[in-house]
A and B are shown apart, each in its own frame.
Chain A
Amino acid sequence: MSSHESNYKPTSRFGKWLDDRLPVGRLMHGQFVDFPTPRNLNYWWTFGGILTFCLVAQLVTGIVLAMHYQPSAAEAFNSVDHIRRDVNYGWMIQAMHATGSSMFFLAAYIHLFRGLYYGSYKAPREILWILGVFIILAMMATAFMGYSLPWGQMSFWAVTVITNLFSSLDSIIPGVGTAIVQWLWGGYSVSGSTLNRFFALHYLLPFVIVGLVALHIWALHVVGQNNPAGLDIKTKSDSVPMYPYAVAKDAVGLFAFLLVFAWFVFFLPDYLGHADNFIEANPLVTPPHIVPEWYFLPYYAILRAVPSKLGGVILMFASIAILAFAPWLDTARVRSSKYRPIYKWFFWLFVFTCLALGYLGAKPAEGSYVAWARVFTAYYFLHFIVVMPILGLIETPKKLPGSITEDVLGPGAGKGATAGAAAAPETR
């Protein structure tokens, strides 16, 4: 919280000298050491730290790969093979980067659903939430361009199909869509020029994400963290300092996450990819089934559920854009779904809908798959534009605990407590 006073005291003479000139140590200490975190945070709150790790890991492995990769139509496919076979530890670093994108999205989606469940988007965290939506969008653009770089069949045809989505604008103003697509391609078809610019942008966008994440954390530290009870920090006993309490908990979550990450890197490095991407890009042959990476499948299902090309594109982008409006669509008085007996079920129905769309996105677009994709696409949007506004008005929430301290220690606890933040957490 902005009102919190850091107890930073530089110990060395150099520390004091620096603190008078550039108080960066004071800033970091105040924001990441004695920053007050709610004492009732559960393990779902460790994903912020996990995501920071993912971003740094992708940057480090990506910069290393760029030292060996060649972004030309003639060399790209072979240079990825060269990285995997010849470059020292290239097999590991390439697997970390390719698997890392899946892990990044896995963590981001858990983080997003956690925010939805506990009402983390509600006032005063609207800007924080919207920045998160921008980060997801930037991650998608980065992952899409990164997927083109191995220049396999799936890379090539994913770029072809997705960039062709813009040609649907031709049905509004003839010629505009085609002009945009040729501008994106730098030619009359997907070619080496396209690959080269995608490589440049794939290198740029992660740094844009770093900037967005900095704003995201800044906004978080202005309003303070939400928590499972959805209450604000009111007294000192409601919070514990970030170090060591939250940091230690984040570390446990991170190591559990790294076990899964490492399992994929070392035992299933290609499991999340597609066999067709081991065939070099060929503009004359389309693979029989074009399927995006798993983290794009729900959007792909929405795209294909709509019979009109333009309509599908609009709904696909709307499915992400609508998240940004959640703070105003949700009319409930309480934040956390823990205290919303009816909405809780709709939340899990929404989770099921997203998983079902993911399943349907991987299936061919025919018969009952399309019919079900339409049903779930409809509920995806109804959840935001009907369930959220209406249920918030008619639902009676359960009784909230009096404070964050009471949420942990039971009713009546923390009344008149004078214990400082550092003394409180034994019973945590």
Chain B
Amino acid sequence: MSSHAEESNRRDFLVIAANAFAGVGAAVTLWPFIQQMNPDKSALALASTEVDLSPVKEGQAITVMWRGKPVFIRNRTADEVKSAQDVPVKELPDDVARNENLAADAPATDQNRTAKGHENWLVVIGICTHLGCIPKGQALGDAKGDYGGWFCPCHGSHYDTAARIRKGPAPRNLDVPPFAFISDTKIKIG
């Protein structure tokens, strides 16, 4: 009897071990077929870009592409900077800076939305945080929304001159990409 039981246990073990092995093998085989869909090395290689800011006069804005996304760069006027600085953080729907160059919990002050010493330059990813439309406000004739920054025509989100969400369905401020000034008139994004 005991030898029977032992036989049966050995078989159980073999069945479980074989199935576990096959299961792990199937999962390992599946992984490349999932991973192939993720952004590849060539997409990552486009991950940084340099932008010459010298032609952009005060009050003008340019749009550059970074990782296939539009990046809004605005040379803000003194008025625009002041109106952005004067807003108390408490009044903002999203009170976090969303600046990849700073800590994740930095408050959404205008200083935290820009680079130190270059407060007139605002660099943000121009994709509405609601459902991914491109807000209006880059061209001179565009509707800039109730707060003088950007306005998303899809579902009516208003952004201020620091590209912070002020009104509408968007949940977050426009993201500030990782960037740095490599000279006074040149930035590197990414």
- The residues of A with any CB-CB pair to B shorter than 8 Å are 157, 160-161, 164-165, 171, 182-191, 193, 197, 283-286, 288-290, 304, 307, 309, 365-366
Asked if B132 contacts A186 (CB within 8 A), the reply is no
Q: Which of B26-69 contact A (CB under 8 A)?
A: 34, 37-40, 43, 63, 65, 67-69
Asked whether, in the complex, the Cβ of A366 is within 8 Å of the Cβ of B156, the reply is: yes
Say whether, besides A284-B63, A286-B133, A309-B171, A188 and B37 are in contact (CB < 8 Å). no
Choose among B69, B133, B156 the residue that contacts A161 (Cβ–Cβ < 8 A): B133
A171: B residues at CB distance < 8 A:
171
Offer 21 A-B interface pairs, CB within 8 angstroms, sorted by A.
A161-B133, A164-B132, A183-B34, A183-B38, A187-B67, A187-B68, A188-B69, A189-B68, A189-B69, A189-B127, A190-B68, A191-B68, A193-B43, A283-B65, A283-B70, A286-B134, A286-B154, A289-B153, A304-B155, A365-B156, A366-B156
Q: How far is the CB of A18 from chain B (nearest CB, A)?
A: 39
Count of A-B contacts judged by CB separation below 8 Å: 70
**B131, A186: Cβ atoms under 8 Å?**
no
In the assembled complex, the CB of B187 is this many whole angstroms from the nearest CB of chain A, namely: 19
A286 touching B153 by the CB < 8 A rule? yes
Q: How many chain-B residues does the 8 Å CB contact rule pick out?
A: 25
Tell which of A161, A182, A366 touches B38, judged by Cβ atoms closer than 8 Å: A182
Q: A187-B43, A188-B43, A289-B154 are in contact. List 10 more A-B contacts (CB 8 A).
A: A183-B38, A186-B37, A186-B43, A187-B67, A283-B134, A284-B63, A284-B65, A284-B70, A286-B134, A290-B154
User: How far is it, in angstroms, between the C-alpha of A188 and the C-alpha of B154 when the chains are bound?
Assistant: 21
B130 within 8 A of A: yes
Q: How far is the CA of A85 from the CA of B70 in the complex (A)?
A: 33
CB–CB A283/B68 < 8 A: yes
Residues of B within 8 Å of A182, CB to CB, are: 38-39
Q: Please indicate the chain B residues that have their CB under 8 angstroms from the CB of A366 in the complex.
A: 156
Q: Tell me which residues across on chain A come within 8 A of B169, comparing CB atoms.
A: 307, 309
**Complex formed: what's the CA distance from A187 to B42 in Å?**
10
Q: What 1/0 flags go to B64-85 for Cβ under 8 Å of A? A: 0101111000000000000000
Taken together as a complex, chains A and B put the C-alpha atoms of A286 and B43 apart, in Å, by: 23
Chain A residues near B69 (CB, 8 Å)?
Answer: 188-189, 283
| Nearest A residue (CB) for B67 | A188
Find out whether the CB atom of B39 lies under 8 angstroms from the CB atom of A188: yes
**Would you give the 0/1 interface string for B132-144, flagging 1 where the beta carbon is closer than 8 Å to chain A?**
1110000000000
Q: Find out whether the CB atom of A188 lies under 8 angstroms from the CB atom of B68.
A: yes
Q: State whether B155 touches A186 (Cβ < 8 A).
A: no
Q: Which A-B residue pairs are the 4 nearest by beta carbons?
A: A188-B67, A189-B68, A286-B133, A164-B132
In the complex the two chains form, what is the Cα distance from A188 to B133 in whole Å?
A: 14
Q: In the assembled complex, which residues on chain B have CB atoms less than 8 Å from the CB atom of A307?
A: 169
Contacts of B34 in A (CB 8 A): 183
Smallest CB separation, A302 vs chain B (Å): 15
**Nearest-CB residue, chain B, relative to A307:** B169
A161, A184, A288, A304: the one within 8 Å of B153 (CB)? A288
* Shortest Cβ distance from residue B94 to the other chain A in the assembled complex, whole angstroms: 13
Q: Do A197 and B132 touch (CB < 8 A)?
A: no
Residues of B within 8 A of A160 (CB): 131-133
Q: With A164-B132, A284-B134, A286-B133 known to touch, is A186 a contact of B38 (CB < 8 Å)?
A: yes
Quick check: B37 and A161 within 8 Å, CB to CB?
Answer: no
Residue of A nearest to B133 (CB): A286
Q: Which residue of A lies closest to B66 (CB)?
A: A188
Q: How far is the CA of A21 from the CA of B63 in the complex (A)?
A: 70
Specify which of B37, B39, B63, B130 is in contact with A309 (CB 8 Å cutoff): B130
How far, in whole Å, are A161 and B133 apart by their CA atoms in the complex? 7
CA distance A284 to B70 in the complex (A): 6
Given contact pairs A188-B69, A307-B169, A164 touches B131 in the complex (Cβ within 8 A): yes
A289 to B153, CA, bound (A): 7
Q: Which residues does chain B contribute within 8 Å of A288, judged by CB atoms?
A: 153
> A166–B69 Cα gap in the complex (Å)?
18
Contacts of A284 in B (CB 8 A): 63, 65, 70, 134
A308 and B69 alpha carbons, distance in the complex (Å): 25
Could you tell me if A161 and B131 are in contact, using CB atoms closer than 8 angstroms? Answer: yes
Residues from chain A with a CB closer than 8 A to the CB of B43 are 186-188, 193
**Nearest-Cβ distance from residue A365 to partner chain B, whole angstroms:** 6
Chain B residues with CB below 8 A from A365, complex form? 155-156
User: Which residues of chain B have C-beta atoms less than 8 A from A185's C-beta?
Assistant: 39
B22 CB → nearest A CB, Å: 25
A171 to B129, CA, bound (A): 13
Asked whether B67 lies within 8 Å of A161 as measured between CB atoms, the reply is: no
> Which residues in A have their C-beta under 8 angstroms from that of B70?
283-284
Once bound together, how far apart are the Cα atoms of A171 and B130, in whole Å? 13
Q: What separation, in Å, do the CA atoms of A365 and B67 have in the docked complex?
A: 30
- Taking CB atoms, residues of chain A closer than 8 Å to B37 are 183-184, 186, 197
**Residue numbers in A under 8 Å from B65 (CB-CB):** 283-284
B156–A186 contact, CB under 8 A?
no
Decide: A186 and B171 in contact? CB cutoff 8 A.
no
Q: How far is the CA of A187 from the CA of B46 in the complex (A)?
A: 10
Q: How far is the CA of A303 from the CA of B105 in the complex (A)?
A: 30
| Assembly CA distance A283 to B125 (angstroms) | 13
Q: Indicate if the CB atoms of A290 and B68 lie closer than 8 Å.
A: no
Contacts of B152 in A (CB 8 A): 286
Task: Find the A residue at minimum CB distance from B43.
Answer: A187
Whether B131 pairs with A165 at a CB distance below 8 angstroms is yes
Instruction: Compute how far the CA of A157 lies from the CA of B40 in the bound complex, rounded to whole angstroms.
Output: 23
Query: If the complex has contacts A157-B133, A284-B63, A309-B171, are A186 and B40 also in contact, measured as CB distance less than 8 A?
Result: yes
